[in-house]
């Protein structure tokens, strides 16, 4: 496969992931705005913090290291051993779901059943949904390794949309079910997701006229099940050792990623209602795009990886700056529309403005850290684990202290510190990686003075607009405030289009935008 073809595939995979994440975040955003009108904030806080943390922790402990190890090599391997290794995620998931379920039911504070009914059922079903999702792990890794982009898009989009529809219907018709609503919807989501992958591969392998089985390492659907290999070894021990190395690193990374939820869950620094408000603020920051998950393996082609890395860095930087600059002046209005006075009054706008600054760091880290982990050797991964251990401990301590002193804003400050350190480490690694090559992908973090001036001017104008037009002046003034922001955004994006020609060229040539434009001209 040529470099240009690899670049095109990586770009298309990045674009599909980008669109998927935007779709998922917007759906979740709208769904939570709807749910806030029908259910108590304590129920939503339990779901978005405690039960979601149980689900994500179980999946992380059972599969994260396996995914990274099994995707780190090429497609030429003994896939029977790889698939056997991946099936070990299921019993591992059963163990972690039982253990964590016991912790969630016996060691953590149980909410008042009159305020949050059916908590025990929620714990059981969220843990069960994690195990169900692990049943599709071999299918997911095989599809990812062979870049089945359409399958990923259809499966995840269909699962999220159907889950959202089911949740909305149950909230509207049976609001008294409480946690049963979210538990059933979560189980339904994982079942549909796994079913999509199983049905796709079954149909693909049974189709006599298909050309796909010629490039797949399996010819029958039963080949995807655990089996004895020709060499006699059940798994590839090199992959197994790499899995253990990634597990140690991923465990520390999970603390850094979900640290604020662990602090809220285990240390009770916020009550369930405050946790709900905190998480809804967090969802705004999660609207930032993370295309970095779809970077090509840099070992395959250094030049290709450099081009994609530079372009995604620029895209992430522009996305983060846009959210930061415009989010500052529209935080109160957005919260008022999203959740009413419950979110827009008090400290809500201050929290969201702080998150807007955090989003900028989050966007850059999403790209730089993904490349760093993909490019590291096993020895570098093991050495990096010690750094992650120190960072994880300092992050948890800092989160607890800052939250005790400043409340919810303390989480933001701790995460900003966390992201700043991680970005610095990744930038140093990338600089060393390309130091002896002609490629300089970190140029993606530089913007033209004209574009920086456009961002600064837009920030000043929209801030003044908020003072005089929002949010106590009625709907006409609010609409005028939105119009001012739309005009400033158009000018800023226009300036970016004129100045960031390398990024525009990358998007047009690699994501198919030029062909799309030709159809309309």
Average predicted confidence (pLDDT) for the chain: 79
Instruction: Write the pLDDT tens digit of every residue in 29-52.
Output: 667 667 767 777 778 888 888 899
Where does the pLDDT of residue 371 fall: very low under 50, low under 70, confident under 90, or very high at 90 and above? confident
Among candidate residues 244, 220, 498, 179, the one with its CA nearest the CA of residue 378: 244
What pLDDT was estimated at residue 362? Answer: 83
Is the pLDDT assigned to residue 282 strictly greater than 70?
Answer: no
Give pLDDT, residue 340: 64
**Segment 345-368 mean pLDDT:** 81
State the Cα–Cα distance between residues 208 and 223, nearest whole angstrom. 17
The pLDDT value recorded for residue 247 is: 81
pLDDT over threshold 90, residue 24: no
Q: When comparing pLDDT for 101 and 175, which is higher? A: 101
Q: If pLDDT is split at 50, 70 and 90, which confidence band does 184 have?
A: very high
* Residues 266, 262: Cα–Cα separation, whole Å: 6
Q: Residue 23 burial by CB count (10 A; 0-12/13-18/19+): exposed, middle or buried? A: middle
pLDDT at 414: 85
pLDDT of amino acid 511: 55
Q: Indicate the pTM of the whole model.
A: 0.66
Given a cut of 60, whether residue 8 has pLDDT beyond it is: no
Q: Which residue in the block uniquely carries the two structure tokens 């992959």?
A: 239
Mean pLDDT lowest for which of 14-23, 158-167, 319-328, 393-402?
14-23
Write the DSSP symbol of residue 88.
Answer: T
The torsion region of residue 207 among left (phi > 0), alpha (psi -120 to 50) and beta comes to: beta
Q: Percent of the chain having pLDDT more than 70?
A: 75
Q: What was the pLDDT predicted at 39? A: 78
Q: For position 276, what pLDDT does the model report?
A: 45
Q: How many Cβ atoms sit within 10 Å of the Cβ of residue 272? A: 22
User: To the nearest 10°, the Cα dihedral for 503, 507, 508, 509?
Assistant: 100
Summarised one tens digit per residue, pLDDT across range 315-329 is 889 988 998 999 888
End-to-end CA distance of the chain: 32
Distance CA 98, CA 323 (A): 40
* 306: three-class secondary structure by DSSP: helix
Q: What is residue 293's predicted lDDT score, i.e. its pLDDT?
A: 45
- The per-residue pLDDT for 298 is 52
Would you tell me how many other CB atoms lie within 10 Å of the CB of residue 487?
14
pLDDT for residue 280 is more than 50: no
CA 370 – CA 362 distance, rounded (Å): 12
Query: What pLDDT, on a 0 to 100 scale, did the predictor assign at position 97?
Result: 96
**What pLDDT band is residue 365 in, cutting at 50, 70 and 90?**
confident
> What pLDDT digit, counting tens, does each position of 219-270 carry?
888 888 887 766 667 777 788 888 887 787 666 667 666 665 666 666 554 5
Judge whether 264 and 275 are in contact, CB under 8 Å: yes
* Higher-confidence position of 266 and 132: 132
For the cut 50, the answer to whether the pLDDT of residue 343 exceeds it is: yes
Lowest mean pLDDT among 4-13, 397-406, 475-484: 4-13
Whole-number Å distance between alpha carbons of 344 and 337 = 8
Q: How many CA atoms are closer than 13 Å to the CA of 478, on its beta-carbon side? A: 12
Q: Average the pLDDT over 343-371 and give the result.
A: 80
Confidence of residue 154 (pLDDT cuts 50, 70, 90): confident
Kindly tell me if the per-residue pLDDT of 277 is higher than 80.
no
Residue 377 CB neighbour total at 10 angstroms? 10
For 297-303, what is the mean pLDDT?
58
């Amino acid at each position: 496969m040529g470099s240009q073809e690899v670049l095109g595939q990586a770009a298309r995979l990045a674009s599909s992931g980008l669109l998927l994440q935007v779709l998922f975040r917007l759906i979740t955003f709208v769904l939570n705005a709807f749910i806030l009108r029908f259910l108590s904030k304590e129920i939503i806080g339990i779901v978005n913090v405690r039960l979601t943390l149980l689900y994500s922790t179980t999946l992380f402990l059972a599969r994260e290291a396996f995914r990274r190890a099994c995707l780190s090599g090429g497609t030429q391997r003994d896939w029977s051993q790889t698939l056997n290794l991946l099936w070990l995620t299921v019993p591992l998931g059963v163990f972690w779901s039982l253990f964590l379920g016991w912790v969630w039911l016996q060691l953590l504070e149980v909410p008042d059943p009159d305020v949050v009914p059916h908590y025990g059922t929620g714990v059981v079903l969220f843990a069960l949904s994690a195990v169900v999702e692990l049943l599709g792990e071999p299918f997911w890794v095989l599809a990812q390794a062979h870049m089945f982009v359409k399958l990923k898009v259809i499966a995840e989009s269909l699962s999220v949309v159907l889950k959202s529809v089911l949740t909305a219907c149950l909230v509207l018709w049976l609001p008294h079910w409480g946690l049963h609503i979210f538990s059933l919807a979560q189980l339904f989501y994982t079942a549909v997701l796994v079913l999509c992958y199983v049905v796709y591969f079954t149909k693909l392998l049974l189709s006599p006229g298909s050309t796909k089985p010629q490039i797949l390492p399996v010819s029958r659907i039963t080949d995807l099940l655990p089996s004895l290999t020709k060499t006699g070894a059940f798994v590839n021990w090199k992959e197994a050792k790499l899995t253990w190395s990634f597990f140690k690193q991923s465990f520390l990374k999970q603390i850094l990623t979900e640290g604020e939820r662990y602090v809220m869950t285990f240390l009770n620094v916020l009550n369930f209602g405050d946790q709900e408000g905190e998480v809804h603020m967090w969802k705004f920051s999660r609207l930032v795009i993370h295309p970095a998950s779809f970077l090509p393996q840099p070992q395959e082609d250094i030049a290709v990886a450099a081009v994609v890395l530079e372009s995604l860095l620029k895209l992430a930087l522009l996305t983060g700056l846009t959210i930061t600059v415009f989010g500052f002046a529209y935080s109160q209005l957005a919260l008022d529309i999203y959740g009413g006075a419950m979110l827009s009054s008090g400290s809500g706008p201050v929290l969201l403005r702080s998150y807007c600054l955090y989003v900028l760091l989050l966007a850059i880290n999403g790209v730089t850290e993904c490349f760093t982990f993909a490019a590291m050797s096993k020895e570098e991964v093991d050495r990096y684990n010690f750094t992650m251990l120190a960072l994880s401990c300092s992050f948890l301590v800092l989160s607890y202290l800052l939250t005790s002193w400043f409340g919810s804003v303390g989480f933001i400050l701790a995460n900003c510190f966390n992201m700043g350190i991680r970005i610095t480490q990744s930038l140093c690694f990338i600089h060393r990686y390309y130091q002896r090559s002609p490629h300089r992908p970190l140029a993606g973090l530089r913007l033209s003075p004209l574009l920086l001036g456009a961002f600064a001017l837009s920030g000043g104008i929209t801030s003044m607009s908020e003072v005089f037009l929002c949010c106590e002046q009625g709907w006409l003034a609010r609409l005028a405030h939105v119009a001012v922001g739309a005009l400033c955004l158009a000018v800023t994006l226009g300036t970016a289009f004129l100045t960031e020609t390398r990024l525009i060229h990358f998007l047009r040539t690699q994501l198919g935008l030029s062909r799309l434009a030709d159809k309309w001209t």
